[in-house]
Structures are given as structure tokens and as C-alpha cells.
């Protein structure tokens, strides 16, 4: 699937802003780069077209989840977990698969 890198970046940034009042921990630039890379791979491999609103929301939720994992000293998300979440999310938000 094709997607705009800017939608991914804006979603990650929004997710990071969203968690600031709740967690003292922050993802490092390296952590964000690695999450961005994993998200890019997962979204590129997805067989259906996804709306840019969904890419933004998906990246936002991933940043929130990754920061939560860091805060609670849990392992970071794996590509397989992101792919599973993508599949379920695109079904739940089925309007985001339409243009």
C-alpha cells in the first residue's frame, strides 16, 4: 500500500504530544526512528488501500502504545503486533479504507 510519509510523521508527533501529560518518559529519536521504520514496513505490506486519515490515526495510536510500553518497562512493539493491530483497526474503522 502506498502512503504519505508526512501522514505517518504527523501521527507519530500527535501521539507523542498526546502522552506528555500522562507519562514522564519519552521515546528517544532512535526509538521514534525504529517505530517509524516498523510502521512503514507494516503499512507497505498491507494489501488494501488505506485513507491518509487512518495512517495518521494508526501512527498516533502506535506512538501512544510504544510510549506506554517504555513507561512500564515492557518490550517495544514488534512488526507482527503492529500488523495484527493494523488488520483489526482497519476492520473496525472500515470507513478509513474508502477514499
Q: Tell me: pLDDT of 99 over 60.
A: no
In angstroms, the CA 41 to CA 1 distance is 10
In angstroms, the CA 3 to CA 16 distance is 20
In angstroms, the CA 42 to CA 45 distance is 5
For 9, the grid coordinates are 510523521
User: What number is the average pLDDT over the span 52-81?
Assistant: 96
Per-residue model confidence (pLDDT) at position 68: 97
User: What number is the average pLDDT over the span 82-89?
Assistant: 92
User: What number is the average pLDDT over the span 47-68?
Assistant: 93
User: Percentage of residues in the chain with pLDDT exceeding 70?
Assistant: 93
Amino acid at each position: 500500500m502506498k502512503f504519505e510519509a508526512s501522514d505517518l510523521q504527523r501521527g507519530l508527533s500527535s501521539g507523542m504530544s498526546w502522552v506528555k501529560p500522562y507519562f514522564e518518559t519519552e521515546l528517544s529519536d532512535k526509538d521514534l526512528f525504529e517505530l517509524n521504520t516498523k510502521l512503514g514496513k507494516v503499512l507497505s505490506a498491507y494489501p488494501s488501500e488505506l485513507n491518509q486519515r487512518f495512517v495518521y490515526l494508526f501512527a498516533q495510536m502506535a506512538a501512544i502504545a510504544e510510549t506506554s510500553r517504555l513507561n512500564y518497562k515492557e518490550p517495544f512493539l514488534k512488526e507482527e503486533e503492529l500488523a495484527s493491530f493494523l488488520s483489526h483497526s482497519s476492520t473496525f474503522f472500515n470507513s478509513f479504507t474508502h477514499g
